[in-house]
Amino acid sequence: MKKLYISLITGALISSFILGWLIDSLSAPPSTHDNFKVEKQILAGVVAEISHHPKSEHEAFLKRFTQASHFSLSYHSNSELALPRELHGELLVPGGITLEDELGFYLIQTSAALADSHIQLRVEKPPMPTNRTDLFLTVGFYLGICIFMWWWLAPLTKRLSLLNKATAQFANGNLDARINLTGLSYIRELETSYNRMADQIQQLIEENQLLASSMSHDIRTPLACLRFGLDAAIDTKDPTKIQHYLERMENDLDQMESMLNSYLEYATLEQKSYQISPTAITSTELFDNCFYQVEPKLNAQSIKLEIKSDTQQLYVDPHWLARAIVNLLSNAADFAKTTITISTTQTHADTFIEIEDDGPGIDEANLDNVLKPFFQQENHRNRAAKNYGLGLAIVAKVIAWHFGDIKVSRSKELGGAKFTLRLPHRCHLKNKTSSW
């Protein structure tokens, strides 16, 4: 919003300056300092003519000339002028000097023949604009500001209209309603926040629908087994068979409990995104922690983990990012034959973490689906009984909380699956309102 504030202030200042300058130019009375050519010629002629008359006739001559010409001429002593002595010499220069007061101008000139006297020609100032003109100029000033600000803010009103339209469409059930971002928008941050909010809401709705569908489908099998075991236990009189059925029912209940816990954990996972606390941590510390958690599984399956990374500084949430990496390593361990590698690279803006294995890899058709919840590839070998296709979906969520992304491809070096995590260097994750 800072861009909007700066634009508003800039527009107001520019419009006020331009319109003020225009109105001052229109309303200011024309300068008359250089418009006295005729008056000065007349004054010079009068001074030259009066010089040929005796001093005693000067005032009478000026009176007759004034009555005949309607020019306001008067005869004064130089001692009446409130001028520095240095400027008295200017009175002899052709054109004399010009003085100004609130009502008009005085053209003053003398000659050597007039000695210590001079002639004054009074010129009145033109009348100031009437109140009616001032009113028109005032109205024009404010109207001009309104027009200028409307032109300046037209892009803002257009973007706000688009935002309002998209919000209304989204509220009416069109979950795909988004705003196309442009570089000239004053409210780009607001539009980005709306798009992110809409993406999250749409994702939550789709995941809840998928969760309900998957749960209703997956829970039928253990329920059917429970019903079969209960009926069989009721019908039989053999204590050994009854004990066998009860054990099977207990296993089915354990499976249902594990399934429900996994589903509920995933359903409430989005609420935990607000607990993200980014801190500084080195890649060595992060990978050592991940290796410690996944080491028992790697040893049990005789899989070697190679860490190809120099010590690099990261700014992430250690707990959640470690969980995402552990999920990827555990998933790789289920597929890999002998080797898993984890490596990091950094650019000026991002950190890339790559996890590769030498397993069969992921089918090209499944690359876009493998990160979706409840998706399980058919050729998953050694699948744990409590795997419900949520591990990689949790990874995708954690990386999204860090405002990064994840890419799935095939490893050129090992031939198996390759997961590439992109994490921007710095972020502010409180309330998930800022970007990297």
Kindly tell me if the per-residue pLDDT of 382 is higher than 70. no
Q: What is the pLDDT of residue 258?
A: 74
Tracing tokens 């120099």 back to the chain, one arrives at: 310
Identify any residues that bridge with 100 across adjacent strands, giving them in sequence order: 105
pLDDT in tens, 287-297: 999 998 889 88
Q: What is the pLDDT of residue 133?
A: 66
Q: What is the pLDDT of residue 20?
A: 72
- Indicate the range of 180-189, 206-215, 392-401, 415-424 predicted with least confidence: 206-215
Q: What is the pLDDT of residue 29?
A: 56
Identify any residues that bridge with 415 across adjacent strands, giving them in sequence order: none
In angstroms, the CA 52 to CA 68 distance is 19
Select, from the ranges 28-32, 127-131, 276-280, 320-324, the one with the highest average predicted confidence (pLDDT): 320-324
Tracing tokens 């300068």 back to the chain, one arrives at: 31
Over range 202-211, report the average pLDDT: 75
Identify any residues that bridge with 35 across adjacent strands, giving them in sequence order: none
Which residues make Cβ contacts (< 8 Å) with residue 353, sequence separation at least 6? 325, 342, 343, 344, 420, 421, 423
Over range 281-306, report the average pLDDT: 90
Q: What is the pLDDT of residue 121?
A: 84
Over range 253-274, report the average pLDDT: 72
On whether the CB atoms of residues 357 and 417 are closer than 8 A, the answer is: yes
Q: What is the DSSP secondary-structure string of 178-204?
A: -----TT-TTHHHHHHHHHHHHHHHHH
Kindly tell me if the per-residue pLDDT of 380 is higher than 50. no
Mean pLDDT rounded to a whole number for the chain: 79
Q: What is the pLDDT of residue 271?
A: 63
Going from the C-alpha of 286 to that of each of 305, 341, 395, the distances in angstroms are 15, 15, 16
Which residues make Cβ contacts (< 8 Å) with residue 198, sequence separation at least 6? 166, 170, 175, 177, 178
Q: What is the pLDDT of residue 342?
A: 93
Over range 390-413, report the average pLDDT: 87
Q: What is the DSSP secondary-structure string of 285-328?
A: HHHHHHHHHHHHHHHHTT-EEEEE----EEEE-HHHHHHHHHHH
pLDDT in tens, 331-379: 899 889 999 999 999 888 889 999 999 998 888 888 777 887 766 655 4
List phi, psi (to 5°) of 253. -65, -40
Closest CA to 280 of 231, 315, 256, 237: 315
Kindly tell me if the per-residue pLDDT of 433 is higher than 50. no
In angstroms, the CA 89 to CA 95 distance is 12
pLDDT in tens, 143-156: 877 787 777 778 77
Over range 185-210, report the average pLDDT: 81
pLDDT band at 99 (very low <50, low <70, confident <90, very high): confident
Identify any residues that bridge with 422 across adjacent strands, giving them in sequence order: 352, 405
Kindly tell me if the per-residue pLDDT of 32 is higher than 50. no
Kindly tell me if the per-residue pLDDT of 435 is higher than 50. no
Select, from the ranges 7-11, 60-64, 137-141, 210-214, the one with the highest average predicted confidence (pLDDT): 60-64
Q: Which domains does the chain have, with CATH numbers?
A: 37-124 (no CATH), 189-272 (1.10.287.130), 273-432 (3.30.565.10)
pLDDT in tens, 266-282: 777 666 666 678 888 89
- Indicate the range of 16-20, 125-129, 139-143 predicted with least confidence: 125-129
Q: What is the pLDDT of residue 26?
A: 62
In angstroms, the CA 395 to CA 153 distance is 43
Going from the C-alpha of 366 to that of each of 375, 388, 419, the distances in angstroms are 9, 17, 14
